Amino acid sequence: MPIVTIQITREGTEGGADAATREEKAALIKGVSQLLLDVLKKPLESTFVVIDEVETDNWGWGGLPVLDYRKKRASERAGSAG
- The residues binding a copy of itself (CB under 8 A) are 1-9, 13, 20, 22, 24-36, 38-42, 44-45, 47-54, 57-66, 68
Residue pair 69/77 in contact (Cβ under 8 Å)? The answer is: no
Which residues are within 8 A (CB) of 64 and not within 5 positions of it... i.e. 6 or more apart?
72
* CB closer to a copy of itself out of 1 and 78: 1
Indicate if 2 belongs to the active site. yes
CA 60: distance to chain centroid? Answer: 14
Min CB(18)–a copy of itself separation in Å:
14
Q: Which of 2, 28, 29, 49 is catalytic?
A: 2
Helix (H, G, I), strand (E, B) or coil at 2: coil
The set of catalytic residues is: 2
